[in-house]
Amino acid sequence: MNELGKFLVIAGLLLAAVGALLWSGFGRGWLGRLPGDIHYSRGDFSFHFPIVTCLLLSAILTLLLWLFRR
């Protein structure tokens, strides 16, 4: 149970740090606007799906979780 507690504390601190960075405005210019993100607008309708941003965040989180498991 000791390892689970360490993991939860570290994960919480990382989540708080990422939240603080995003709240401060870091990434406002590029996050969600990477090449390959889908953005369609016509008239009053606008659709935005940041697929490349999702893939990038997924790869980063996978790498971090893999490193913490070792």
- Cβ-Cβ contacts under 8 Å for 56 (sequence gap 6 or more): 34
**Number of domains present in the structure of the chain:** 2
Tell me: do 48 and 67 sit in the same domain. yes
Binning pLDDT at 50, 70 and 90, where does residue 1 land?
low
Tell me: do 23 and 41 sit in the same domain. no
d(CA 69, CA 67): 6
Q: Is the pLDDT of residue 27 over 70?
A: no
Tell me: do 36 and 23 sit in the same domain. no
pTM: 0.57
In terms of residue numbers, what domain contains 6? Answer: 1-28
Tell me: do 69 and 41 sit in the same domain. yes
Tell me: do 24 and 44 sit in the same domain. no
Tell me: do 55 and 37 sit in the same domain. yes
Tell me: do 21 and 38 sit in the same domain. no
Task: Read off the pLDDT of residues 3-23 as tens digits, 9 standing for 90 and up.
Answer: 888 888 888 888 898 888 777
